[in-house]
Structures are given as C-alpha cells and as structure tokens.
Copies of this chain bind each other. A is one copy, B any other.
Amino acid sequence: MKNPLVVPELRELINDKNTQLLKEFCESGHPVVVAELIAALTPDEAWQVLRHADHPLRSEIFSHMDIDLQAELVSLLRREDVARLMADMAPDDRADLFKRMPEERRESILPGLAYAEREDIRRLSAYEEGTAGSVMTSDYALLSPGLTVAQAIERLRWEAPNTETIYYAYVVDEFRKLIGFVSLKDLILSPPGLKINDIMHREVLSVQIDDDQEEVAGMIRKYDLIAVPVINGKDAMVGIITHDDAIDIITQEYTEDMEKIMAIGGSHENAAYMKTPSWQHFRNRAGWVVLLAVLGLVSGFIVQKFEGILLQFTIMAAFMPMLADTGGNTGSQSSTLVVRALALKEIAAKDILSVLFKELKVAVLLGLLLGIIAFGRVFLFGGGSLIPAGFSLGLIGIAIAVALSLQVVTATLIGAVLPILASSLKFDPAVVASPALTTIVDITGLLIYFYTAKLILGI
C-alpha cells in the first residue's frame, strides 16, 4: 500500500476531523489491508475512519474485518448506518454478522432493510452451522435455457455488479430446478446466435443444502471448481459456494482437527488465539486433560501392583519413562498418518487390513532398532544399579529390549486401528489420536513391560 499511515497518525486525523484525508486513506489500499489497519483502532475510532469511505467501499472494508469486531462496531452504530452497511455486504457475510448479533439488536435492524434483503438474511441465517447452507451465498447468476448467447451476455452485464461470481452462470427451468451451467468463457467463445440450451453443460456437480461443509470443500478441491451450486430437497437451486469459501473451510477444519488431535475442545470457528479469554482456553483444554489424567491413574495402579519387581530391579524404573514416551511417539506417528489419510480420503475403513499389514512391517523395523538401542543402554550404563544375585545385566537388558520392541509394535498398531475404528463408528478419527492414544499405550506398555520381565527373568 502506498499510504503508510499507522494508528497514531489515524488518531490525529480523527481528532482533526480531517474528512478528506480519512476518505483518501480508505481508498488508498486493498480493502483487506485497510480493514487490517483499522482493526488496530478501538471500535469507536474504527467507525470514525470507516464512515468517510463511500458506499459500497465502506461495506467492503467492513466485510474484511474480523466478525467479532464487526459485531462490536455494529452495536455502536445507529440503525440507519447499520442498515446501509449491511445492504451492500455479500449475502453470506451479512448473514454471518446477523447470526452474531444479540436477539434484540436483530429485531431492531431488520425493519431498516429492504424486504428482499430481510428475507435473504432470514433464509441464510437459518441453516445449521457446518452445513453447505450456512456458508453459501445467494448472489449468483441465473439463465434460462431459451436465451441466446448474446442475450445471456447482456443479462450478465446487467446482473454482474450484484453477483459474487459471473464466471459460472447456472441454467434453471421454470421450477428453478438446476439443469445445466455455462461458464463466461463458454459464452465468449460461442457464436452469439446459439441458444444456451445448445451450449450448456448438462452434467452439473452440485451439493445438497445440508451436506457437510467439509465435503463441499473437498469437492471444490478435487474438481478444481471456482464455485459449486447448492440445491435443496426439491432440486431447486438456492445458492453457490465459491473457491475462497473452500479455502477458508479447509483452513478452519484443519485447525479443528489439529486441536482435536491435541485434545483441545471447543469450536475454532472464529476464535483466534489471542482473542480467546484465558478462562475459555482453560475450559477448552481442561476436559480432556483431566479425563486423561484420571485414566492415567490406571497406570498408577498397575505400577503399584508390580511394586515388588521395581523394588527388586530398580533399573526397570529407570526405563519406564522411555518406554512410555517411545510408545506414545510411535503410536502418535501411525495415528497421525492414518487420520490424515482418512481426511484426504486416501484410505477408508475397509482398508483396515492392508493398513495394519503395512504398519506391522514398519513397526517391526522400528521395534528391532529401538530394542537394540535399549539393550545397548542397559548393558553399557546399567552397572550402577543394584542387581539381585543370580541375574545378569545381559538378561535384564534382553528383557527390557524385548518389552520395548513389543511396546513399539503394539503402540503402532493401536495408533493405526483406533482412528479407523472411530471413523467406521462415525466418530471423528482425530479425537482418538495423540494424547488419548498416549494414555492408552502407557497402560498397555506397562502391562507388556512387567509381564515380559516376569517371563524372561522367571520371577
């Protein structure tokens, strides 16, 4: 951007009531960048800048602000200003903001809007979060099959300023049923006299209004689409979802997945890290951590049960942390790979046997390697610990090495199986990944450890 104004300078302009420069500031850069700079001000100051932008630029800058800031700003404005601001927003952004407003504010805003906008907002904000309906927009170009190419271009020329994309236009019959589409490229390339009916593509990829937004984004990704039409239960066209929405959905779902893997609860839809209050962070994180800590007490009971062995072979206590960590690490690796492969649809629940076979091969290699390292460690540095008469350091080393190898194999296989099981039970595979898995393989690991020791050492 050419205008390197920053917060103090903006404040000065506001205090000086320098209308002209504030207007120029709003026009000086990409609306995304202007929105970012304004966001550093207080909501009241932000409005003192923004109100100098002409329409529809004002609404465009406003749309690029964080939705929480939008809601806060709107709560300070007069009803007329809000109505004016919302009238020029994209329908999907407008509906999102509407959903964010308190009930009484919604009721006071609606009468200020035109009938069509009001109905549009009501309709778009009615769909459940996470569905195609909740992310679609109602700005799209419609054509009827009987138009000529020249008429269609003329039509789009009229409609274009108000639609999100005119790069695809959708062809519907008299019941608004989706029967085909043409791209603007098709229109430009076709002889002007041909009928839309003759040039349109009849096989249209579309999604249902209650489809999961993640499925929709996956479809846009797979078929390299600019937009995908949304139809209702009666096959009537009701909206479109565009490529930029798909990127946002993919980013949001990935963040949620990663947090689930790390046992963090809560939705991440609009909650940026710094803006989420500490108390909310605590609530998001405490649930799983406490549950896992309670589950972790099981490992305590196991250790208590085998206390006798630890008292006899204190060197075994020294290897407990490494056994737990290595099991957790190898299990996390296989579960992460499987969770990601499931998310990208590279594998499905039916592939469980081939996944297990593959993981078994990897696990045996890893187990052997780590077992050898553990044996070396015991044999080289174990001399300091007390060893009961009749047992050699070598035998203890073999017991620990075998236990570690078995632990690696078990943890890897559990890590691969749990997400697949979760997915076939319609749970999100991500929640059984890392921390939950770590706690589980700790328990299995300790049992393997003590029973292997008993067997090999004959105690």
Neighbouring B residues of A317 by C-beta, 8 Å: 303, 307, 310, 317, 320
Give Cα A220 to B242, complex, Å. Answer: 13
B286 pairs with A300, CB closer than 8 A: no
Within 8 A of B (CB), among A263-278: 263-264, 272-274, 278
Whether, in the assembled complex, A75 has its beta carbon less than 8 Å from a beta carbon of chain B, the answer is: no
B333 pairs with A304, CB closer than 8 A: no
Chain B residue nearest to A373 (CB atoms) is: B293
A189 pairs with B221, CB closer than 8 A: no
Whether, in the assembled complex, A321 has its beta carbon less than 8 Å from a beta carbon of chain B, the answer is: yes
B435 pairs with A358, CB closer than 8 A: no
A299 pairs with B282, CB closer than 8 A: no
Whether, in the assembled complex, A255 has its beta carbon less than 8 Å from a beta carbon of chain B, the answer is: yes
Give Cα A224 to B92, complex, Å. Answer: 14
Given contacts A347-B274, A373-B294, contact A321 B324 (CB under 8 A): yes
Neighbouring B residues of A344 by C-beta, 8 Å: 251, 255, 272
Indicate which residue in B255, B292, B311 contacts A340 across the interface (CB closer than 8 Å): B255
Chain B residue nearest to A253 (CB atoms) is: B254
Given contacts A157-B189, A262-B333, A278-B358, contact A300 B273 (CB under 8 A): no
B263 pairs with A442, CB closer than 8 A: no
Whether, in the assembled complex, A222 has its beta carbon less than 8 Å from a beta carbon of chain B, the answer is: yes
Total A residues in contact with B, Cβ cutoff 8 Å: 111
Copies of this chain held together in the complex: 2
B346 pairs with A274, CB closer than 8 A: yes
B332 pairs with A435, CB closer than 8 A: yes
Chain B residue nearest to A338 (CB atoms) is: B273
Give Cα A320 to B373, complex, Å. Answer: 23
Chain B residue nearest to A217 (CB atoms) is: B247
A296 pairs with B315, CB closer than 8 A: no
Which among A76-84, A94-102, A160-168 touches the partner chain?
A160-168
Q: Can you give 27 A-B contacts (C-beta < 8 A)? A: A32-B222, A32-B223, A166-B185, A167-B184, A167-B226, A184-B184, A226-B243, A243-B243, A255-B340, A259-B336, A263-B332, A263-B333, A274-B341, A274-B354, A281-B337, A285-B362, A286-B365, A289-B326, A290-B370, A290-B373, A293-B325, A293-B326, A300-B377, A303-B318, A304-B385, A321-B446, A332-B435
Closest 6 CB pairs of A and B: A273-B341, A224-B244, A296-B322, A299-B321, A278-B361, A262-B336
List residues of chain A with CB under 8 Å of any chain B CB: 29-30, 32, 153, 156-157, 160-161, 166-167, 184-185, 188-189, 203, 205, 220-226, 243-244, 246-248, 250-251, 254-255, 257-259, 261-264, 272-274, 278-279, 281-282, 285-286, 288-290, 292-294, 296-297, 299-301, 303-304, 307, 310-311, 314-315, 317-322, 324-326, 328-330, 332-333, 336-338, 340-341, 344, 346-347, 351, 354-355, 358, 361-362, 365-366, 369-370, 373-374, 377, 381, 384-386, 434-435, 438-439, 442, 446
